[in-house]
């Protein structure tokens, strides 16, 4: 059947080979309008895809830089900037100590104290006593004559059962610290009344003591290699609270957010969307689950095509004539019944009208999160999850089309109606700034992909995507 050359096929092949139908001028202009919009859309797409990636990268790198800067500043300030006696619990991590030092501030005699510098203790400062009246003994080696002027250096620090050795110039006075009541004790670094601070805080013993801050402290110099220091486990109530918050593995946050959003691949010129609402976050360690309720308000234009017949005028159309006799029954009196009728042009006129509309969506997100960088004052993480959008309200912002006296034949929607339910997938980078123990400010640049077109006719446009930046204030509950 397929191979046979049918005459009817040939007839149509030959006859319709060069079939051409000229398009109308209005069709051409409307196509050019659509084509221009398509070109613009494509150029915007070309710019925004790499643009959004660059913005996210800049935000990420900026956040990391700020965090590093802050951490370095804290470390520097702790090691070199202050002459204080730090008394920290031995089990605190280095990071925790850097960011939340618990200091026994003691004025120092030598402002230039550093890890490699020595601070001289007063000659008569034999007894070192910390603030809470606990005492520790300094034992100085006596076999160095040139060090009789009480230059002392801590050679080792006993922390409970363990001893920490710190490199020192030879020979030096050795201060032995003996712990009386603590399970662990911080490090101490002295040389003849000087305080040596380690280059960086030691994990299990970070403690500097300036002799000036310890008036009345009894210091006994012995010919031993160790200084036993009795350091209290200093914990202020504030510190205890902070610890408890930090150690708490889960917490709940609640807050409000606002997010400007720019949507692409829609028929509307207006790309801007306002999002706002309330959210709650359940955090478990570095993981979080965020949900809430919000409103998304956007504006769009709705183009309609109206076919009309223009009004030309009106006339009295004769309906009927009745006759009746006059009072004398001599004449027949006609009575004419007419109806006023409008006259319209026979040619159809197509009019286009654009209405502005405001669409309000109810949004319910379910966002999962993981913080890959977490400091006390700042955390950085990723967020992703679905967002459900429900169209709850459509408001006309412009008045309805007024055709005047023209006859409206048909009204067709050129812009399709908005879809009532839409799912989106959201992914973003979340930066949280801890303003205080309770308040957290969050910035979250994000990218959304709409699984369906926002319009009812799916073939009208591609699936939209959007970028936005969410700002929120959260409260730790």
Query: Least CB distance from residue 419 to other proteins, whole Å?
Result: 16
Nearer to other proteins, 30 or 360 (CB): 30
In the list 3, 7, 322, 340, the residue contacting other proteins (rule: CB under 8 A) is 7
Residue 184: Cβ within 10 Å count:
16
Size of the site for other proteins (CB under 8 A): 30
Residue 38 interacts with other proteins (CB under 8 A): yes or no: yes
Residue 303 interacts with other proteins (CB under 8 A): yes or no: no
Nearer to other proteins, 28 or 69 (CB): 28
Query: Least CB distance from residue 406 to other proteins, whole Å?
Result: 21
Nearer to other proteins, 18 or 326 (CB): 18
Question: Where does this chain touch other proteins (CB under 8 A) — which range of 33-41, 54-62, 131-139, 301-309?
Answer: 33-41
Residue 396 interacts with other proteins (CB under 8 A): yes or no: no
Residue 265 interacts with other proteins (CB under 8 A): yes or no: no
In the list 3, 21, 237, 323, the residue contacting other proteins (rule: CB under 8 A) is 21
Residue 200 interacts with other proteins (CB under 8 A): yes or no: no
Residue 42 interacts with other proteins (CB under 8 A): yes or no: yes
Query: Least CB distance from residue 11 to other proteins, whole Å?
Result: 5
In the list 3, 9, 68, 325, the residue contacting other proteins (rule: CB under 8 A) is 9
What are the tokens at 272? 């801007």
In the list 30, 80, 99, 394, the residue contacting other proteins (rule: CB under 8 A) is 30
Nearer to other proteins, 23 or 237 (CB): 23
Residue 40 interacts with other proteins (CB under 8 A): yes or no: no
Nearer to other proteins, 20 or 247 (CB): 20
Query: Least CB distance from residue 351 to other proteins, whole Å?
Result: 17
Residue 148 interacts with other proteins (CB under 8 A): yes or no: no
Residue 27 interacts with other proteins (CB under 8 A): yes or no: yes
Burial of 257 (0-12, 13-18, 19+ CB in 10 A): buried
From 173, 172, 176, 153, select the one nearest 163 (Cα to Cα). Answer: 176
In the list 3, 22, 167, 327, the residue contacting other proteins (rule: CB under 8 A) is 22
Bridge-based pairing of strands 287-309 and 272-284 is: antiparallel
Provide the mask over 407-446, with x wherever binding to other proteins is found by CB under 8 A and - wherever it is not.
----------------------------------------
User: Which positions lie near other proteins, rule CB under 8 A?
Assistant: 1-2, 4, 6-9, 11-13, 15-16, 19-24, 27-28, 30-32, 34-36, 38-39, 42, 459
């Amino acid at each position: 059947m397929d191979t046979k050359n049918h005459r009817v096929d040939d007839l149509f092949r030959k006859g319709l080979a060069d079939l051409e139908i000229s398009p109308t001028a209005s069709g051409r202009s409307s196509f050019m309008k659509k084509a221009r919009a398509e070109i613009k859309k494509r150029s915007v797409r070309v710019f925004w895809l790499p643009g959004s990636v660059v913005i996210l990268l800049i935000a990420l790198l900026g956040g990391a830089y700020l965090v590093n800067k802050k951490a370095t500043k804290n470390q520097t300030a702790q090691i070199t900037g202050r002459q204080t006696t730090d008394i920290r619990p031995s089990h605190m991590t280095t990071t925790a100590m850097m960011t939340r030092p618990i200091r026994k501030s003691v004025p120092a005699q030598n402002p230039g104290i550093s890890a490699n510098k020595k601070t001289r203790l007063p000659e008569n400062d034999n007894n070192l006593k910390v603030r809470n009246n606990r005492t520790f003994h300094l034992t100085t080696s006596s076999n160095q004559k040139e060090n009789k002027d009480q230059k002392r250096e801590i050679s080792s620090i006993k922390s409970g059962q363990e001893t920490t050795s710190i490199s020192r110039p030879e020979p030096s006075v050795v201060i032995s610290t003996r712990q009386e009541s603590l399970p662990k004790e911080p490090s101490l670094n002295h040389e003849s009344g000087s305080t040596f601070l380690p280059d960086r805080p030691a994990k299990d013993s970070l403690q500097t003591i300036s002799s000036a801050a310890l008036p009345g402290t009894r210091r006994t110099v012995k010919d031993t290699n160790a200084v036993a220091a009795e350091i209290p486990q200093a914990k202020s109530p504030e510190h205890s609270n902070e610890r408890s918050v930090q150690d708490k593995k889960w917490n709940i946050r609640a807050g409000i957010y606002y997010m400007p959003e720019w949507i692409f691949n829609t028929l509307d010129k207006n790309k801007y969307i306002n999002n706002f609402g309330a959210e709650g976050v359940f955090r478990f360690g570095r993981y979080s689950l965020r949900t809430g309720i919000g409103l998304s308000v956007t504006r769009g234009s709705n183009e309609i095509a109206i076919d009309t017949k223009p009004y030309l005028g009106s006339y009295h159309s004769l309906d009927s004539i009745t006759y009746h006799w006059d009072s004398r029954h001599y004449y027949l009196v006609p009575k004419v019944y007419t109806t006023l009728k409008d006259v319209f042009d026979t040619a159809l006129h197509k009019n286009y009208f654009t209405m502005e509309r405001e669409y309000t969506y109810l949004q319910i997100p379910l966002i999962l999160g993981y913080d890959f960088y977490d400091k006390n004052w700042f955390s950085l993480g990723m967020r992703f999850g679905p967002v459900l959008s429900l169209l709850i309200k459509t408001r006309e912002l412009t008045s309805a089309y007024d055709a005047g006296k023209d006859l409206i034949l048909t009204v067709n929607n050129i812009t399709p109606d908005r879809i009532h339910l839409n799912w989106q997938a959201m992914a973003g980078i979340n930066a949280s700034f801890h303003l205080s123990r309770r308040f957290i400010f969050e910035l979250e640049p994000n990218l959304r992909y709409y699984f369906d077109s926002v319009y009812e006719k799916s073939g009208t446009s591609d699936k939209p995507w959007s970028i936005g930046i969410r700002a929120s204030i959260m409260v730790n509950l």
